[in-house]
Structure 1
Amino acid sequence: RPGADAAGQDEEGVTATERPPDESEREAVAEVLAELLGAVECTLSGAEQQNESDN
């Protein structure tokens, strides 16, 4: 139905323009990045420990 498509596009456009990334969204992104950094640090430290034990 073309009407449903138009309504869906309008809703997406409104949400995209009406909701700029606010503080709560930035905090959520920061938390995700922090978790990713923590996971990367854990894997890096684990790899270093394995390398040390191999040597």
Structure 2
Amino acid sequence: MKIFFWIFLGALVLLTPLFIYDMVQRQSINISFILMIILCFVFYTRAFKTG
């Protein structure tokens, strides 16, 4: 469980600057938003399976 949490946290930290940059550029905000949703979905799915 902690491993998945740290992987999720690390990915979130890595993607946050890209997400902010895309928000500033107003170009790829939709792609970043979809990536964040997929990342959260995968994290919660694995967390639910592992209990």
The two structures have a TM-score, normalised by structure 2, of: 0.47
The two structures have a TM-score, normalised by structure 1, of: 0.44
Structure with the bigger RCO (C-alpha within 8 Å, sep 6+) is 2
